[in-house]
Structure 1
């Protein structure tokens, strides 16, 4: 899980950059990757849930130019830089994340 906050005036830029990433993912359909991003409470907060096979650093979306552009932009548009939290499932009900 990755959580971060972008400046209010940069939210739309963040969303547009993310749309480009998801368009590339839809076009390329890399295997072994689940990737979802949510905007929190109509604010500048974002939460990304990522599951990939193998080393997370080698996840397929990291190689996309659109993702690299998004990642580079975060350093200047964030008020809270991305923080990674590793999740260990305790239980689940009807989740596709299993």
Structure 2
């Protein structure tokens, strides 16, 4: 009887141990699956964040370039106006010189 009870207890312990191992393997698989999903979600979020930062940098660079172009255009327009004024003055000077030589 004692031997049978011992054998029965051993078999029950083995069944429990097998169930514990089975549960642990299942839990391990679930943990690995969740870790994979979390890693993928994190990767996607990091890519989105990197894209947002890159877009912001592009926008900033474009704004800076637009501002630089606008300032350069303004300077060119000022230079053109100065040249026109200089040409008008020279034209007036030439006209005065011609008139003075005719008189």
TM bin, normalised by shorter chain, reads under 0.3
Higher relative contact order (CA 8 A, sep 6+): 1
In our comparison, the structure showing a higher alpha carbon Rg is 2
- TM-score computed with the length of structure 1 as normaliser: 0.22
